[in-house]
Amino acid sequence: MNRSGLPYVLITPARNEATFIETTIESVIHQTVLPERWVIVNDGSTDDTSARVKPYLAAYPWIELVDLPVRRERHFAAKVSAFNAGQERLKGLDYEIIGNLDGDVSFDNDHLEFLLTEFSKDSRLGVAGTVFREDGYSSETDSFEGQSHVAGQCQLFRRQCFEEIGGYRANKAGGIDWMASTTARMIGWKTRSFREKSFFHHRKMGTAERGQLASSFSYGEKDYYLGGHPVWEIFRVAWRMTKKPYLVDGVALGLGYLWALLRRAKRPVSDELMRFHRKEQMRKLKSILSSVITMKRFNRFETKPS
């Protein structure tokens, strides 16, 4: 029973996810609240992704598979095209929540019901998700983003919000989930990554077709072209240096940002969105530094001899 009263749909653009897609399917079919429709878009895979999905279709008629032509190149603009192809299959359906779900995640049986309940509690909640874990990583403790950032691997939107922001914006280098949730906040919606639940991401972020350091370098480039403030990036690099594999990961991130800066890489975001983003970053940084200073003062007071 859907106690939230909010019907929802899911779209999964899946490219070369044969290793993990069945794990994701098992998570969804065992949810306490099932979607009205789940469109899995085989995004030109060169592996057995489609074959792994097909056995579920007869048993679960609310799951639909869309096969797109095989392609060799992998990029985020194509992911948006795949998502849009899935959205086309939802025309005529009555739903209030639409979600992007990657084909390499898993979560508890009540994960989606929890998010639907949060939407029902707050009519201004436009984008919602949870923290996530990977091997050796937790976005709750290792991320520098804060609770307003909703990770794209499992990102749910109120339908009205998704339509008002114009959906996902195609950008080959990525950042599509960030642009969506940040634009939502800019026009007045709330976005929230809840801590009460989490999902597991089975493939480490950004490493589908490259190594960890190359991924960090790419994230540094992305920080630049999404309009990240240089001061924020300095602290983000310093923070990443304290995490495994220590030093080198942060250096790779910083070099990526610097390289994009020197090349004056083209930014896919508007000046308005960049100004909004930088103001948010400075507010968060001020809050973080204030908390650190307060904690140090408290510790000095606590350790002072009586």
Q: Please spell the DSSP secondary structure of 231-276, one letter per residue.
A: HHHHHHHHHHHTSTT-SHHHHHHHHHHHHHHHHTPPP-S-HHHHHH
Helices marked H in the chain — which ranges? 21-29, 49-57, 76-88, 111-121, 139-142, 159-164, 176-186, 212-225, 230-241, 248-263, 271-303
Question: What is the per-residue pLDDT for 1?
Answer: 61
- Domain match, 274 and 175 both: no
Residue 3 lies in a domain: no
Query: So what's the pLDDT on residue 201?
Result: 97
Can you tell me the distance from the alpha carbon of 147 to that of 280, in angstroms, rounded to the nearest whole number?
12
Residues 15 and 41 in one domain: yes
Q: Please check whether residue 2 lies inside any domain of the structure.
A: no
pLDDT at 131: 96
**Domain range enclosing 44:** 8-201
Of 99, 94, 222, give the one whose Cα is nearest residue 156: 99
- Domain assignment present for 193: yes
What is the model's pLDDT at position 70?
Answer: 86
Residues 237 and 93 in one domain: no
Q: Are 134 and 212 in contact (CB under 8 A)?
A: no
Residue 177 and residue 240 in one domain: no
Shortest CA distance to 50 belongs to which of 16, 23, 81, 1?
16
What is the number of structural domains in the chain?
2
CA distance 33 to 196: 18
224 and 292 housed in the same domain: yes
Last residue of a domain, one of 201, 232, 258: 201
Q: Are residues 220 and 279 in the same domain?
A: yes
Of 146, 168, 201, the position where a domain reaches its end is 201
Residue 1 lies in a domain: no
- Judge whether 94 lies within some domain: yes
Asked if residue 180 and residue 227 are part of one domain, the reply reads: no
Whether 242 and 157 map to the same domain: the answer is no
Residues 173 and 267 in one domain: no
Position 156 in a domain: yes
Query: Does residue 31 share a domain with residue 125?
Result: yes
* pLDDT for residue 73: 64
What's the CATH number where 117 sits? 3.90.550.10
Q: What's the pTM value of the predicted model, to 2 decimals?
A: 0.86
Joined tokens for residue 285: 């940084």
Question: Could you tell me if residue 235 is inside a domain?
Answer: yes
- Measured distance CA(149)–CA(195) in Å, rounded: 12
Residues of the chain with confidence (pLDDT) below 50: 305-306
* Domain-terminating residue out of 151, 166, 201: 201
- pLDDT computed for residue 276 by the predictor: 96
Longest distance between any two alpha carbons in the chain, whole Å: 74
Whether 240 and 169 map to the same domain: the answer is no
pLDDT score of 76: 72
User: 190 with 275, same domain?
Assistant: no
pLDDT at 306: 45
